[in-house]
A and B are shown apart, each in its own frame.
Chain A
């Protein structure tokens, strides 16, 4: 009984989750192709990160290896 209920709950939730999947047609990819959808598309962010790392001596804190000298 318990197992049946669990299976039912799992089936309902996975079904709901699967319903969120949609096929985006090639001609509908305008928004996805927008530059704002690219990770780190904003070069100002990279500059600000560099500046912050140098200022705070925290080079590497953003996932980049460096010596803390601000000269990466």
Chain B
């Protein structure tokens, strides 16, 4: 049997290195009012977009699935922009030149925002890359997606259509 004087520090160490479990029921409802800066240098206040359906896509140049999701999100932007969908592709690269290199490769017209310190990502409790949130007209986060697979885009499309059809 392990002596107590050895066991105690081991248990303490285990407790210390075990990350605190994320509150499973900590569901974020109202979208936090973050202010994002676009690559063009403009400020976007999320609260000012209340009344519109907003799709926030957190991505990074180093994120492999983002190479697939980025063009698909761009296609959604093209399809639903005229119906009032606002797409904000939030880049979380620490160095903007990495984002710029990525953006040079992938054609885009959607709004690209920069979040190098991860402030918006933290506010939205992003815990996977990419992460996509769809905010309804009321300003509530209605759908959250972690990661990306080819099957997901059909869901995004259906959810965007559903939220666009809702009255404010």
Contact = CB atoms under 8 A, between A and B. Distances in A.
Interface string A25-36: 111111001100
A2 B146 CA distance: 52
Contacts of B92: 27
Contact of A29 (B8, B10, B129): B129
B157 to A, nearest CB: 25
Mostly, the A contact residues are: helix
B119 to A, nearest CB: 10
Nearest to B3: A3
- For chain B, the bracket of interface size reads 20 to 34
Interface string A15-59: 101110101011111100110000000000000000000000000
Given A21-B17, A27-B121, A28-B118, A10 B62 contact: no
Given A15-B13, A34-B62, A27 B126 contact: yes
B98 interface: yes
B5 A7 contact: yes
Contacts of A30: 60-62, 93-95, 98
A66 to B, nearest CB: 32
Interface string B11-25: 011001101000000
A69 interface: no
B41 interface: no
Interface of B: 3, 5-6, 8-10, 12-13, 16-17, 19, 58, 60-64, 92-95, 98, 115, 118, 121-122, 126-129, 131
Interface of A: 3-4, 6-7, 10-11, 14-15, 17-19, 21, 23, 25-30, 33-34
